[in-house]
Amino acid sequence: DVKVTQSSRYLVKRTGEKVFLECVQDMDHENMFWYRQDPGLGLRLIYFSYDVKMKEKGDIPEGYSVSREKKERFSLILESASTNQTSMYLCASTSDNEQFFGPGTRLTVL
């Protein structure tokens, strides 16, 4: 079974802090994605990566950056967290057209 793991299930940070969300997949997938999920808005794509050191902006990249130094790991970085970044963050990796999701990190920014 494909496994996508995320470093934290719940995280509480203060405004202005730098936040790292880590995602690891164990199936050698090339494509990895970061989404945020908010009530009424569904999943919105923040960034994605097709290969190591490759990254592409999604629909809402502002305030975020990413890092993909190794194929299995895709990190989402909030350079200076703000309250409007309080959300559920979901990482996914892709095989063909199926995306496999991690359990999510619920981030609260105070």
Of residues 85 and 89, the one with the C-beta less far from other proteins: 89
- Can you say how many angstroms the Cα of residue 106 is from the centroid of all Cα atoms in its chain? 11
Out of 49, 85, 93, 99, the only residue in the binding site for other proteins (CB under 8 A) is 99
Of residues 17 and 26, the one with the C-beta less far from other proteins: 26
Site for other proteins in 20-79 (CB under 8 A): 33, 35, 39-45, 48, 58
Are 110 and 14 in contact, with CB atoms under 8 Å apart? yes
End-to-end CA distance of the chain: give it in Å, rounded: 37
Query: What phi, psi does 85 have (nearest 5°)?
Result: -100, 5
Binding positions for other proteins, rule: CB under 8 A: 4, 33, 35, 39-45, 48, 58, 90, 92, 97-104
